[in-house]
Structure 1
Amino acid sequence: MSVFLPLLEDAADEALLQALARIGPVIVPASQANAVHLPEHATRYVLLDRDFSLDEVTSFLDQGAEKVILPLGQAKDAIGILPADRLVLLIDVGSVSAVSDRIRNGVSGVLIKTPALDLDFVASFSRFFAGSAVHVLPATTSTPPSQSSIRGLLSAGAILVLPTTLLTLSASTDRHINVADAFLSPISSDRPDGLIPTVVSSHAEGGRSLGLVYSSAQSISASIATGKGVYQSRKHGLWRKGETSGATQDVISIRLDCDSDSLEFSVIQHGAGFCHLDRSSCFGETETTSLFALEKTLQSRLSSAPEGSYTRRLFDDPDLLRAKIMEEADELCRAQTKEEIAFEAADLLYFALTRCVAAGVSIADIERSLDRKAKKVTRRAGNAKPQWTKPASSAKPKPVQAVIDPDTPIRMRSYELAAVSVDERAQLLRRPVLKYNEMLAKVKPIVDDVRIRGDAALLELTAKFDKAQLTSTVLRPPFPPESIQLDPTVRDAIDVAYANIHKFHAAQAEQGTMSVETMPGVVCARFARPIARVGLYVPGGTAILPSTALMLGIPAQVAGCKEVVIATPPRQDGSISPEVMYVAYLVGASAILKAGGAQAVAALAYGTQSVPKVDKIFGPGNQWVTAAKMLVQNDTDALVSIDMPAGPSEVLVIADHTCNPAFVAADLLSQAEHGVDSQVVLVAVNLSDGELSAIEAELDAQAHALPRVDIVRESISKSNIVKAQSVDEAIKFSNDYAPEHLILHLENASKVVPLVENAGSVFVGPYSPESCGDYASGTNHTLPTNGYARQFSGVNTLSFQKHITSQEVTADGLRGLGPVVATLADCEGLQAHANAVRVRLRAL
C-alpha cells in the first residue's frame, strides 16, 4: 500500500527520485514528463498542469504512465473513452458539488486540493468517493507534515501528496521530512524488539520468495536511500546483504502490507543466492518445472552445451530453431483437448525461450515488454498478416503449412462410438468453452452507460459500433409506406411464412381457464395472461433477417403482448431493412429500436427517455448480445427475464443406409456456414465405408461451390462423424448431446420421433431440411443451443405468456379444508396462518 505520494516539484535530486521510485508511484507534472528520467521499474502518475487534448492525454498513458490526473473539465471529456482505472480526478474543495455520479464512477481515484489538513472533512470526502483512492494535497506546503498527520490521513481513508521540496534523504528537520520517516509513519510491530518481519522476493523470478528477515527504521532508511538490501540482524545489528559474501541485492521496490506490520522487499539477487547455505532461496531450489528454472538451464547450456547436443544445434542453427518455433505454434493451434494444448504449449515455450536466451533476452525483459504494452490505451486492429489468415485444418498435427491449398478436401473427423472411452465420449458431447465471464466484463461498461445516460449513450454507441449517425433511436407506427416497400416476390414469401408460423403458434395459445375441484367446495384454477411488454432482438446491420422478426413477433402477437419493441441495428444511413420493417408492420410492433449489441439489450432492460422498458427479452445475437442478456437478467434493478441462454448454432444428423448422400451433406453444410464456431455432427448408423465416402464426397463438392467456403472449411474441420451400430445407440448419443436441430435421415423416421428426449426441433425424413423450419414451415427457429435442450424449450407462444393460479373456497369447502391447513400451519409454527383459518371456522 502507498503511504504517501511524492509530487515532483522543480528539479528534484536524482538520488531522491531513485529512492522515491522504490516505495511507490511518483506524480510528475505533464510539462516535465519527458524531462524526468525515473528508473525503468518506476510507477508514474502524470498530473495535467495545463490544458491538453484527449490525444495528448492518451499519449501519456501509451508512453507508460500508470494514471493521469485530470482537472474536472478535462475529465468530463475523457470519461467513457479512456479506462476508468487509469484516470484520477483533480479538484479543489469548492468543486466537490460539481462532481456527478458519472464522473465519480468514471475514475479510479481523486486528488483534492485542500486549504488545510482537516481530518473530519477528509473522512467525509473519502466516504463520498467510496471505492476510489483518495489523495490529499494541502494548499499550505511550506512545512512538512508530521508522522502522526500521515497516519491520521491513512486512518481517514486518504493518502497524503507530498511535494518533493519537502522531502529529503537526510535527517528530518522543521523544513523537510526524511523519505523513510514518512514511509514508516503507519508501521507498527508486535515484537518486543520492535523489528519488522520482512519477506524478500525475487523480482527477476516472478516474485518467488527468497527468505524471511527483519528490518528496523535504520535498515529501511538505508535500503531506500542506497537501493541495496539492508536488514537488521537480531544478533549482529545492521546487516548489509552481501557485504562479505558478494551476494548483494538491488532493491527494486519496498511495500508495506495491509496491516502495516510487515514489509516486502522485491530484489534482484546477485552472487550465489540469498540463503547462507549458498542456495538461491531459504525455502529450497526452484522446482524443475518452473519457467525461470528452464531459463537458467538454457542460459547455462548457451555457454556449456556440448557439441552435437540438441540444444547446441538449436543455438547454432537459427533456421532449425525458426522452423521448430513455427512447427510448435502450428501444432498448438491444431491441438484439441486440454492435455494436447498443454503439451504443445510447453513445447512452444521451450523453443521460444531458447530463441530469447540466444538473443540475450530474459523473462524479465519479456515481462517489462508486456507491462509496457498493457499500459497502452491505443490499440492496433490486431489483424493477422495475410500469410496467416487462411483457416487451418484441426485434424491431427501436421508440419507447418502457411497457406492451405483451396483444393484440399474438406473433411470431418471420425469416431467409432463403440470404441471410444468414457472420457472420449464426454469430449464428443462437449461444445467449445464460452468465456462468458470475460464477455460479461466487456459488456458491463456498455450496459452501465446506457442505464445511466439513456438516449445520449445509445446515440453515441450506435455511432461508434454501427457507424450510423442518428438523431433519434426509436420509430413508432404508423411506419412510412416507403420504409416497407419490397420486391413483390420477397413480400409474397414473407406473407406465406407469416401465415404458416401464425397458424402453428395460434394453435399453441391457451385461451381458456383450467379449473379443478380438488375437494368439495375447493376449486383451483389456472389461466394465462400475456407478458405485457416484450423486447425482440433481431440481428441486423449488414444482414437482413426478416425470419427472426417473424419467429419472435408472431408468438408475441398471438399471445396478446400489449407492447412489442423490436430492436435491430441500423444500416449506416440510419435506416432499417424494409424486410424487417414489413414484418414489424405485420406483427403490430409498437416501436422499433434502431440499435444493436449490448447497448440495445440495456435499453430494453432499463428503458431510456425514448425506449420503453420491457419485461422479457427474446432473440439471438452474438456474444456481446448474449452476455448482455445474461447480465441484465441477474440485475434486480432491471426486473427483466430472457428467453434462454445461447451459444453457436448446431445440428446433429442421424443417417442410415436409406439416406441420400447429397441431402445429408447439404444439411450439414447449411449449419456449418453460420460461422466458424458452428457445431456439426453426423451420427452414421451402420454405414459402410463406401456409403460414408459418398457423403464425404458430396460434402466436399458442395462446400467448394459455396461462397462461404472458408467459413465452412474451418467449422467442418472441427466437426465429427460418430459411427453407431444401431438406431437406439444413435438416439441415445443424440439425447445426451441435446442438439439445437436434429435431422432424421432414417428408414421409417417418424417412428423414431417418440425416442427423442432432448432436442430443440426435429426434422423428420429426407424432405424436411432444417431450412424449412428456419424460415417458413411454421415452427420456431429460436431454439436452445449448447446442450440447453435438456432444460429449455424453443421459443413458442407460451414463452410470451405467464400463468396465474386462483382458488375459490366455499363455506362448506373451508369446513373440510380448514382443519388440515390449521394443523400444517401449527406444525410449521406459523400461528397467524392458522388463525386466518380458525377465525373463519369460528364464524361458521
Structure 2
Amino acid sequence: MSLSTPVLPILEKEDVNNKQLLSVMSRSAPLLIPFAQYDQVKSSLPRSLSYIVQFVSPVSIPDAADVLDAGAEAVSISANDASTILQEDSPALPFERVIVQIDPSTAISLPELAKKGLAGVHISLPEGLSLQDAKTGELVGQFVSSIEAKKTGRPVFVSASNATLPTVEDAAYLTSIGASLVIPTSKIDLPKDEKSTSAGKIDLIGALLASLKSDRQDGLFPTTVVASALGTSLGLVYSSQQSIRESILTGSAVYQSRTRGLWRKGESSGATQEVVRIRMDCDSDALEFTVRQKAGQEHIGFCHLTNREGCFGRTSGLALLESTLQSRLKSAPAGSYTARIFSDAALLEAKIREEASELVQAKDEDKQHVAFEMADLLYFTLARCVRAGVSLEDVERSLDAKAHKITRRKGDAKPQFINGNPAASSSDSKPLPSAPAPKSAAAVVEEDEGPIKMTSYRLENVSESERTDLMKRPSIKTEAVMELCRPILRSVKERGDEAVLELTTKFDRVKLNSPVVLPPFTSPAVLQKIKPEVKNAIDQAYNNIYAFHAAQKKVGGNVKASQAGIGGINTATGEEADDAVLEMETMPGVVCRRFARPIQSVGLYVPGGTAILPSTALMLGIPAQVARCPTIVLATPPRPDGSITPEVLYVAEKVGAKCILAAGGAQAVGAMAYGTKSVPKVDKIVGPGNQFVTAAKMIVQNDTDALVSIDMPAGPSEVLVIADGDADPEFVASDLLSQAEHGPDSQVVLVGIQLSDKQLAAIEAALDRQAHALPRCSVVRKAIEKSLTIVVPTREEALRWSNEYAPEHLIIQAKEPEALAKGVINAGSVFVGPWSPESCGDYASGTNHTLPTYGLARQYSGVSTSTFEKNITSQSLTAEGLKLLGPHVVHLAECEELEAHANAVRLRLKTLGIEMPPPHVKSA
C-alpha cells in the first residue's frame, strides 16, 4: 500500500487493543505505531494493514531492520539518527523505507537529505503554530517540494502541538498543499455519520474523505472493484460519502446505486464482498475497492446481470485456473487425471519436479517453449496449493512479505540441486563467498522455511583470497552508533541525575525517583522471589568463580618476602600476605619489584531489563571483589515496573556492590564515567552490552574529562568448534547452537578434521533437528545462514584456521584434545574435550565469560582479577648497588643531554667517594 494518505493516525498506548480501530485502518489508511507499543500490538495487526513504526532516538538498527522484515512499510527515525545512518555510501537502512522526523530545530537543515529518496518526512510544528497558518504552509511546502511529494506520492506528515485538536478542515487544507495530517488515536472518533462526532474528537472517516471530490452533477465517485488476488477487475460502480463510510466501518462492500440508493452488496443474493482496502486515485476523484468475494447459494459472482465473477466477462489466466482447480477438487470425476493429481501425492510431486526440470532445460531463444513449460509448471504447482487450501491471495501475501524484508540471504542453491545433481552431498559443492545483498525494498523471493544449514567448504578448494573473505566478520557501523551516543553522554555529563532519569524514562520506559538502589539489596521478600534451585546454582557458581579468580592473585613469578612491606609470602611464617609480589635482584644491591593494587572505583555493566543475567553480574563482580576494589558500581536496566531482577540483587549483595545504577545503554555508561550526585564516578567500566553500550564505552575512554578506561571493545558472540570423526554429532551441533541463539549476528564456525561426507551430514542433521526444537529458532536460522563449516585435512590446519580466526569461544572435540589445546595461540576461552560444553564456562565452571570477540582475542584477554588491578613497580638500591649501577646511569643521561638526571646520581656517588668526570660541555 502507498503511504500517501490524507490522514495518518498514531497509535496510543490505550488503543493497542482497539480491534475496531485497527480493522478500520486496515481498509482505509496506514497507521503510525510507536516502537514502545509495537511488541504489544504486532501479533494482532490485521494482515492487510499498512503501518509505519516510529522510533525514538537513538534508534537500534537491528530493531529497525527486524521491524521492516516483519512487514512495516517504513520506519520513522529522528533527524539526528538519519544524519548519521543515511549519509553513508551503504546506509544501514534503505532510504526508501525511512521516514525522517523533523522538529523546528531541524526543519530547515534536512532538504538535501530528503532528496536522496526517503520514504517521506514527518514534521512536528512548533508550539503556537496552527495547521492552517501561512507559516505552516511555507514550512510544509519546502518539504513537499524537496521530496517532490505531489509527483512521487511520498508523504509529508504533519503533527500539530499536543494542545491542538485537529479538524476535518485541517486535513483538507494539508491535503491541498500536498501533506497529510497526523492524529493521535485518542482524538479519533468513528461515527456512523459526520453529525454524530463526539465532542473533543475528530471524525476520522470525514478527515480521510475530506480531499475526495466529484466532477459529476450527482456528486458520486466512479469506483472500480478489483479482486484481492491478482487485482482482476470485476466491474465499475459508484460510491457516495455515506456508502464509503459504511464500507470502511463494517468491512462489507456498500456502493451507491444511481437509481436505488445505497447498494449493500449481497444483501439479497448472499454474494457478499469483504472489503480488503479502499484507495483514492492520484487526483482524488475516483476510488478503487479491493474485495474478497464470497459466493451466495444462488449467486456466485459480482455481476448481478450474468452472475459471473465480473461484469467484463469470465476471468482468465491464473485466476481462471485457480477457480477451475478449486471446483475440480470438490467434484472431479473419479479416475480423471485431475482427481489423480489431488489424491496421489507422489504423482503430483513427480510432475512438479518433471515440469521444473523441463523449464530449466528449455532454451532461452525458444520463447514459446519456455512459456509452454512454465504454464505446465504453474498448473501443477497451483494444484499443489489448492490441495493444501492455499489461495493465490495467500501466495501474493507471502510475496509481499518477502518484498518487505531488507535482510537477505546469500541466495546460494542447496547443495543437492547444484550442477543438476539432486544426490550431491554438501561437501561435494563449494559455494563461493558472496558479498551481502544490498538492503533495498525490491521484491526478492526467499525461502523462510526448510533446513537450517551452515554453508560448507573444503580447504583444498578455497583460494587464499576466499580464505580471507571467510575469515571476515560482518562489519559493525561503530561510527554511526557513536554519533547517536554523543548527545546522550553530553546530556549526562552536563545534567547528571536529571538526565539519567529523563533518559531512563525515554528508553527504558520506566519513571524512577532515583537512579540508584542502595544496599542492603536483599531482604526476605527479595529472596523469596528466587527459586531455591537457582539460589543454590548462584552460590555454587560464586564459589567456583571466586576460587579461580582468587588463585590468580598468587601468580606473579618469583615471589619472595618484601623488605619494603609491599606484600608477598612471609617466609618466616609461611602465611599468605595480601598480594603476590614479583621481586628479583637484577644486579647486586639492585632489587626490582612488581605488585598489584586494586582500581579504586569500578563500574560493572550488566545487560538486563526484560532479561535475567545473574551470570554476568557474577563474572564481573567476583573478580572486582577478589581484587578488593573499594567501590563497585553495578549498572543494569530496570524492569518495566522499575525494579531490579532479584537474582541480580542477590549477586550484588554477595560481591559487595556499593550501589546499583538502575539504568542501561549509553546513559548508564555516561553516569559511571562522569559521575553524578547519586552515582559515584568510576575509574574503569567493564562488561558486555549492545552496540550503544559498546560505542559509549569507546567514546568515554577517549574523553580526558572522564579519565576512565574500559575492558575491551565488544562484538557479536561467536564460537569455533574443532571436531574430528570421533566427535559426537549431537554434541557438536549443540555447541554450535548455544552461540547461534544469542542473536542473528552471532558467528558460528565448525572446523572439521578430515570429516567424511557421512560424518558432516550427521552433524548437519543434528543441527537442523535441534535448531527446529528451539524457541529462538528464527534467531538461530539467521545466525546459521551467516556461518560456515570448513573441512581441513590435518590437526595442524585446524589450529591454523582457529588461531587466524581468533574466536571468543574455542571448543575442541577431537582425539587427544589436551594436546591440541597446547597449540592454541588466539582464543578468548578454550573448552577441551567432549564433556566441556561452552555453557559451563558461561555460568559456573570458574573461568570468566566476558571475553574478546570480533577477532580481538589476538590482542585482548578476557576479564580476570587483573582486569580490576593495575601493576606498580618499585626498586630499592643499596649504597653498593648504586656504586655499581650509578656510573652507567650517568653516562646514559648525559648521552640524552638530561644533565639533571645525571646530577641526581653524580651527587650520591660523590657522597659514596666516587668521582664522576664533569659533564661534557658542548662547544658553541
- Does the CA-based 8 Å contact 2:809-2:828 persist in structure 1? yes
1 CA distance for matches of 2:765 and 2:587? 66
Q: 2:408 aligns with which of 333, 348, 373?
A: 333
* Pairing partner for 2:534 from 469, 486, 490: 490
Q: 1:732 aligns with which of 800, 805, 824?
A: 800
Q: 2:473 aligns with which of 431, 437, 444?
A: 431
The Cα shift of 1:843 comes to: 2.5
Match of 2:873 in 1: 805
Stretches of structure 1 that go unaligned for 5 or more consecutive residues are 1-20, 22-27, 45-51, 65-307, 309-321, 353-387, 389-398
Structure 1 position 519 matched with structure 2 position 587: yes
Partner AA of 1:471 in structure 2: N
The verdict on how the C-alpha distance between 1:43 and 1:707 changes in structure 2, with shifts beyond 3 A counting, is: closer
Q: Which of 598, 605, 608 is 1:540 aligned to?
A: 608
Counterpart Cα distance in 2 of 1:475 and 1:561: 19
1:470 aligns with 2:512: yes
Tell me the alpha carbon deviations over residues 539-559 of structure 1, each in whole angstroms, 9 at most, x when there is no partner: 111000000001111111111
Residue 638 of structure 1: aligned partner: 706
The alignment of Structure 1 onto Structure 2 pairs a total of residues equal to 504
Is residue 326–residue 400 contact of structure 1 (8 Å, CA) maintained in 2? no
Which SS does the other structure have where 1:524 is aligned?
A: strand
Point out where structure 2 has 5 or more consecutive residues left out of the alignment: 1-110, 112-125, 148-159, 176-366, 368-396, 412-430, 555-578, 913-924
Q: Tell me the equivalent position of 1:501.
A: 545
Tell me, in whole angstroms, the C-alpha distance in 2 between the residues paired with 1:339 and 1:721: 12
1:479 corresponds to which letter in structure 2?
F
1:375-422 alpha-carbon deviations (Å, 9 max, x no partner): xxxxxxxxxxxxx9xxxxxxxxxx724x623xx111100111122111
Which amino acid letter does the alignment assign opposite residue 824 of structure 1?
L
Structure-2 change in CA distance of 1:41 and 1:753 (3 Å): same
Q: TM-score, normalised by structure 1?
A: 0.56
The verdict on how the C-alpha distance between 1:450 and 1:326 changes in structure 2, with shifts beyond 3 A counting, is closer
Q: Distance in 2 between matches of 1:465 and 1:718?
A: 30
Alignment of 1:278-677 (within 5 A): 333-335=408-410, 400-401=445-446, 404-405=448-449, 408-481=450-523, 482-485=525-528, 486-510=530-554, 511-677=579-745
Contact 1:484/1:581 (<8 A) preserved: no
State the distance in 2 between where 1:329 and 1:574 align: 36
CA spacing shift, 1:579–1:40, aligned 2, 3 Å: closer
Asked if the contact 2:723/2:814 (under 8 Å) is kept, the reply is yes
Tell whether the 8 Å contact from 2:522 to 2:649 is kept in structure 1 after alignment. Answer: no
The letter for the 2-side match of 1:483 is V
Aligned letter for 2:514?
Answer: S
Written as runs of structure 1 = structure 2, the 5 A alignment for 1:207-286 is none
TM-aligned CA deviation for residue 53 of structure 1: 4.3
Give 1:842 deviation, angstroms: 2.1
1:339: Cα distance to partner? 10
Equivalences for 1:702-721 in 2 at 5 Å? 702-721=770-789
**1:532 Cα deviation after fit:** 0.9
Structure 1 residues 36 and 422: alpha-carbon distance in aligned structure 2, compared to 1, 3 A threshold: closer
| Offset of residue 808 of structure 1 | 1.4
What residue identity is the alignment partner of 2:752?
A
1:39 to 1:635, Cα distance in 2 relative to 1, 3 A: closer
Q: CA deviation at 1:32?
A: 2.8
Counterpart amino acid of 1:749? P
Q: Which structure 2 residues correspond to residues 97-176 of structure 1 after superposition, within 5 A?
A: none
Which residue is 2:135 aligned to? 33
Secondary structure at the aligned position of 2:668 is classed as helix
**Cα RMSD after superposing both structures:** 3.5
Q: 2: CA distance between counterparts of 1:755 and 1:808? A: 40
- 1:139 is matched with none
CA distance in 1: counterparts of 2:434 and 2:520, whole angstroms: 59
The C-alpha deviation readout for 1:694-746, integer Å capped at 9, x for no partner, is: 11111111111111111011111111010100111011000000000000010
Give the secondary structure class of the aligned counterpart of 1:333: coil
CA contact (8 A) 2:521 2:650 kept: no
- Gap change, CA 1:331 and 1:423, over 3 Å in 2: farther
Q: Quick check: 1:829 aligned with 2:897?
A: yes
Is the Cα–Cα contact under 8 Å of residues 735 and 838 in structure 2 kept in the other structure? yes
Distance in 2 (CA, whole Å) between partners of 1:332 and 1:710 is 13
Q: Extract structure 1 runs of 4+ deviating beyond 6 A.
A: 37-44, 54-60, 322-332, 336-339
Could you say what secondary structure the match of 1:755 adopts?
A: coil
Contact 2:848/2:862, CA 8 A, preserved across alignment: yes
Q: Matched residues in 1 for 2:855 and 2:816: separation?
A: 26
Contact map agreement 2:432 2:466 (CA 8 A) in 1: no
Query: Share of identical aligned residues, percent?
Result: 58
In the TM superposition, what is the alpha-carbon distance from 1:840 to its structure 2 partner?
A: 1.8
Task: Confirm or deny that 1:768 pairs with 2:836.
Answer: yes
Letter in 1 for 2:445: V
CA distance in 1, matches of 2:142, 2:584: 81
Label 1:497 to 1:40 Cα distance change in 2 as closer, same or farther (>3 A). closer
Cα distance, 1:39–1:708 mapped onto 2, change above 3 Å: closer
The aligned amino acid for 2:480 is E
Amino acid aligned to 1:649: S
Change (3 A) 1:567 1:328: closer
TM-aligned CA distance change 1:814 to 1:714, over 3 Å? same
TM-score by length of 2: 0.51
Separation (CA, whole Å) in 2 of partners of 1:618 and 1:426: 31
Over 3 Å counting, the alpha-carbon distance change for 1:497 and 1:441 in structure 2 is: same
Query: What is the CA distance between 1:490 and its match in structure 2?
Result: 0.9
Structure 2 distance, partners of 1:774, 1:709, is 21
Aligned equivalents of 2:514 and 2:407: distance in 1? 48
Q: Give 1:585 shift.
A: 0.9
Shift of 1:39: 7.3
Alpha-carbon spacing, 1:826–1:490, altered in 2? closer, same or farther (3 Å) = same
Q: Distance in 1 between matches of 2:505 and 2:409?
A: 38
User: CA 1:674–1:533 in 2, change beyond 3 Å: closer, same or farther?
Assistant: same
- Counterpart of 1:721, as a letter, is T
Contact 2:433–2:470 (Cα < 8 Å) also in 1: no
- Given the superposition, is the C-alpha separation of residues 532 and 712 from structure 1 closer, same or farther in structure 2, using an over 3 Å criterion? same
Q: Aligned-pair distance for 1:529?
A: 0.5
Judge conservation of contact 2:522–2:650 (CA < 8 Å) in 1.
no
